[in-house]
Amino acid sequence: MPQPSLDTSPKVSDEIRKTTCYMCACRCGINVHMKDGQVAYIEGNKDHPVNQGVLCAKGSAGIMQHLSPARLRAPMKRVGPRGSGEFEEISWKEALETAVSWLKPIRDTDPKKLAFFTGRDQSQSFTSFWAQGFGTPNYAAHGGFCSVNMAAAGIYTMGGAFWEFGQPDWDRTKLFMLFGVAEDHDSNPIKMGIGKLKKRGARVIGVNPIRTGYNAVADDWVGITPGTDGLFILSLVHCLMKAGRIDLDYLARLTDAPCLVNGDEGSDEFGLILRDEAGKALVVDRRTGKPAAFDGKGVQPDLSGSWRHAGFTHRPVLHHMAERYLTDEYAPETIAEKVGIDAKRIRAIAADIARVAFDDAIELDREWTDFRGETHKKMIGRPVAFHAMRGISAHSNGFQTCRALHLLQIILGSVEVPGGFRFKPPYPKPATAHPKPHANAQAGKPLDGPHLGFVHGPDDLLINDDNTAKRIDKAFSWENPMSAHGMMHMVISNAHAGDPYKIDTLMLYMANMAWNSSMNTSGVMQMLTDKDENGDYVIPNIIYSDAYSSEMVAYADLILPDTTYLERHDCISLLDRPICEAGAAADAIRWPVVEPDRDVRGFQSVLCELGGMLELPGFTNEDGGQKYADYADYIQNHERKPGIGPLAGWRGDGEDHGRGAPNPDQIEKYKENGSFWISHIPEEAEFYKPWNMAYQDWAVKTGIFDAPTPYIFTLWCEPLRKFQLAAEGKHRRQPPEHLKARYAETMDPLPIWYAPFSDADERFTVHALTQRPMAMYHSWGSQNAWLRQIHGRNPLYVPTKLWEANGFAEGDWARVTSPHGEITVPVMHMAALNENTIWTWNAIGKRKGAWALDEDAPEATKGFLLNHIIHELLPSKGDGLRWANSDPITGQAAWFDLRVKIEKVSAPKESLPAHPAQKSPVPKAPETVKQKVGL
């Protein structure tokens, strides 16, 4: 019988356009297949360094994001009450003139009256450059409520951190341990990496209260009690130090473990590192037994050598570590009940780590020369690698917990070695190589320096003479002195309270602050609509840019509609958040593979126009004209300093890389190369980057450094000790009296653990968490017709112990109460969960009327947010003060400190609280979203 003729490889497209995905922050390379000028299909780019052709559900569904019915159509101004969603479309001319009419008087008189904060965009070096030119100190991106603890703790300790700053040595690691990793972060590279580990038989240990995603495929799952990761980590440190299973040679040569700590209790520098006249940290040199600069040629730092001088003994950092961590305070038997892990299991994990690190060590026959001029014949690898993210960051003890994890890596000698954790260019960079924050706003002038940075003591704080904060979010103040990413979650609350002052205009980009990006969501919506005694809005003007009809749109006065990621230029820059790998520097672009069919503009291009209209420095030519026609013009022609611009590839005449003059054909060169550029690190420079002079020289040539900047890791965090000294009265600046005890308790220069602040309320005993699903990226995915089929609603997952105690059955609902409020939501049983923890997927729940969803969509009726019962402030202590629900050091939002009660209730009609539907400025979606491409 004749068989039918089937075309097993039908023509998918008539053209392929290569760009960079934007469906999460992985920034994978994609091939966009075009048919008759329209997007027909998206696949991974197999030549791309990030994903090598792999593409996840989010990336594949990008076509539906691009076609979303929720896309905004045109600029709009509010015509009804704020929050009503009543708008009328206006021209771009009117929109820009309106924005300038609000912004110019502010800039001319008091630039700090503008608060400009951006969400999960990937152009922060550009938006901060614009804000600096405007002159406002009130700028930051979303890192302050996401993972600043992880980033800042890593940079202060070792000059880099996980994810965008570094990655495991996937090809050599034999034991991989991950803590609190959200499944949408770095998802394709982690999935590919874990696949390599599984293929080689390497072991994976997942530490997370919830067993999903990466933890579900781990060989061992450690269902830890939320907020106790730091205690568990320091117990591992205790076991390793007690067994003598630490890398003493690594600690002596490459860290501050041998550096001498001032032991004179009467000194104003008690507890700081001793230094010579040139400011170099001092160690005892084994050759002489006397103090010497740590980086002197031929110096052999002595871990055991103390220095007795003028009646005082100055001991090395390692002695203080032994004194701290060898006590029974950190013994597994002491901490087991608190962390929810059996003491025997803690000891077994420590033993496995030690065995792999030292008994299975790697040796590479690669010669390298360190910063002291010593040449080493081999590269020694400790094949234990760690990875962590927001799960351990988003607690009020998160900064010290993240430092504890870096301490664990360092004592093993597993950072920047074969088989361990490896930095991605432009990291490693010590904290001292980064700028300090600035906040001196002057009428009509640019800010005196970058908004964000790394403070090194009280002198660097952004405070007035009366100790009040200079920034609206109170970043870099006594309340949160080392808040390197700002404190976005406090902006609206502080502006509403007029604390430390009132603002005039709130300008937000891609920040859904009226819904899933805010704690105290219902309260924030009230703050955005509150009026003063004169009947005026407490926050007078709100400008918002988004590509979609999100919940925040209804609360804006002026909407500047953004494009989708397939319709815009973007720059994934070495100046910002590049796509580098451990073995290469790399950056990338996006470009308009299709032109918008709506009256929308890329927000960065809009800033170029506003910058010209406002005559901002950096955005205006000498003749007063607009300097950059659009963002593409900026990407190609802007120089942050001579020879260094947003993109490193094909500079000058197209033959220069890293450094070189602007190239008017640069974007075309990127497009020809799949929209990315990559430069591989020479083999002799691949490891030991902070100390390897071959790497330092390569980094200078590539434009990452201006000069070699080798440094040692800092286990002893001097900035923290300086703040303690200020609290002890040994500095010209001193914190307010009510903060002094907190400085003593939380700002220890060695990593410590203290209970999350929520533990103080014993009425609420159940931990409540959110976790982002692999198939979604924050709120964006729930409008996507394909991704909604994976997560169309979110139940509250309940562990067996609590399920049985409450008599829950399938289909039941629960009331969940926190010190702040309550929600009523559907529940579902989950066995693979810490026994005293409940959780749900983040940002699936939607407000009715938003995102072009039907009002009876499951996201709006059964979906919900835990945000309603989390508050940006801690419960009142009765002292009249506003205590932020944040890490006391960095100000990171303590999302995961939430403690609740849970009880079974009768099922309501829909999840509560149920806010009234918003009026949407876009039409409701058709019942079936479809598009016929080609014949």
In SS3 terms, 694-710 reads as HHHHHHHHHCCCCCCCC
**pLDDT the model gives residue 183:** 80
The tokens 């919900």 sit on which residue? Answer: 864
**pLDDT the model gives residue 297:** 94
Yes or no: say if 662 and 639 are a contact pair by the CB < 8 Å rule: yes
935: pLDDT strictly greater than 70: no
d(CA 453, CA 430): 12
**DSSP state, residue 250:** H
Instruction: Encode pLDDT of 252-292 as tens digits.
Output: 999 999 999 999 999 999 999 999 999 999 999 999 999 99
d(CA 705, CA 204): 35
Give the side-chain half-sphere CA count within 13 A for 430.
Answer: 16
Burial of residue 282, with CB atoms counted within 10 A of its CB: 0-12 exposed, 13-18 middle, 19 or more buried: buried
d(CA 231, CA 756): 11
Polymer length in residues for the chain: 935
Query: In which band, very low, low, confident or very high, does the pLDDT at 929 lie, cut at 50, 70 and 90?
Result: low
d(CA 191, CA 181): 12
As a whole number, mean pLDDT of residues 411-430 equals 98
The SS3 call for residue 664 is: coil
928: pLDDT strictly greater than 80: no
As a whole number, mean pLDDT of residues 660-680 equals 98
924: pLDDT strictly greater than 90: no
The tokens 């009331």 sit on which residue? Answer: 815
d(CA 230, CA 802): 25
Q: How far is CA 196 from the centre of its chain?
A: 26
Run of H or E residues at 509: strand 505-509
* Nearest partner of 892 among 148, 140, 228, 139, judged by Cα: 148
Give the pair of three-digit tokens for residue 881.
């003060």
**pLDDT the model gives residue 519:** 94
**DSSP state, residue 479:** T
Instruction: Encode pLDDT of 694-741 as tens digits.
Output: 999 999 999 999 999 999 999 999 999 999 999 999 999 999 999 999
817: pLDDT strictly greater than 90: yes
* Bridge partners for 205 per DSSP: 177, 220
As a whole number, mean pLDDT of residues 611-626 equals 96
Least confident of 551-555, 782-786, 817-821: 782-786
Q: CA 406 → CA 98, 154, 429, distances in Å? A: 49, 7, 15
298: pLDDT strictly greater than 60: yes
**pLDDT the model gives residue 539:** 98
Q: CA 194 → CA 208, 314, 381, distances in Å? A: 17, 45, 19
The tokens 């301490």 sit on which residue? Answer: 407
Yes or no: say if 209 and 767 are a contact pair by the CB < 8 Å rule: yes
CB atoms within 10 A of CB 800: 13
The tokens 């230029």 sit on which residue? Answer: 569
d(CA 293, CA 295): 6
The tokens 């009132």 sit on which residue? Answer: 502
The SS3 call for residue 148 is: helix
* Bridge partners for 206 per DSSP: 178, 221
* Nearest partner of 129 among 460, 486, 447, judged by Cα: 447
The tokens 């590509």 sit on which residue? Answer: 547
**pLDDT the model gives residue 186:** 76
Work out the percent of the chain whose per-residue pLDDT is above 90. 91
**pLDDT the model gives residue 277:** 95
d(CA 722, CA 728): 10
* Nearest partner of 545 among 251, 35, 123, 57, judged by Cα: 123
* Nearest partner of 839 among 111, 260, 180, judged by Cα: 180
Give the pair of three-digit tokens for residue 326.
């060898």
**pLDDT the model gives residue 797:** 98
Give the pair of three-digit tokens for residue 529.
């609509």
362: pLDDT strictly greater than 90: yes
d(CA 678, CA 400): 35
Amino acid at site 733 = R
934: pLDDT strictly greater than 70: no
Vertex 898: Cα angle to 896 and 904 (nearest 5): 125
Q: What is the pTM of this model?
A: 0.97
Run of H or E residues at 88: strand 87-89
The SS3 call for residue 115 is: strand
**pLDDT the model gives residue 605:** 98
**pLDDT the model gives residue 187:** 83
The rounded mean pLDDT for the chain is 95
* Nearest partner of 735 among 751, 753, 722, judged by Cα: 722
**pLDDT the model gives residue 122:** 73
DSSP string, 375-407: EES-EEE--EEEEE-HHHHSSTTHHHHHHHHHH
Least confident of 456-465, 772-781, 869-878: 772-781
d(CA 413, CA 424): 18
d(CA 211, CA 206): 8
The SS3 call for residue 316 is: strand
Give the pair of three-digit tokens for residue 397.
């003890």
Q: Write the CB contacts of 197 (distance below 8 Å, at least 6 apart in sequence).
A: 170, 173, 176, 203, 204
* Nearest partner of 532 among 495, 569, 568, judged by Cα: 495
198: pLDDT strictly greater than 90: yes
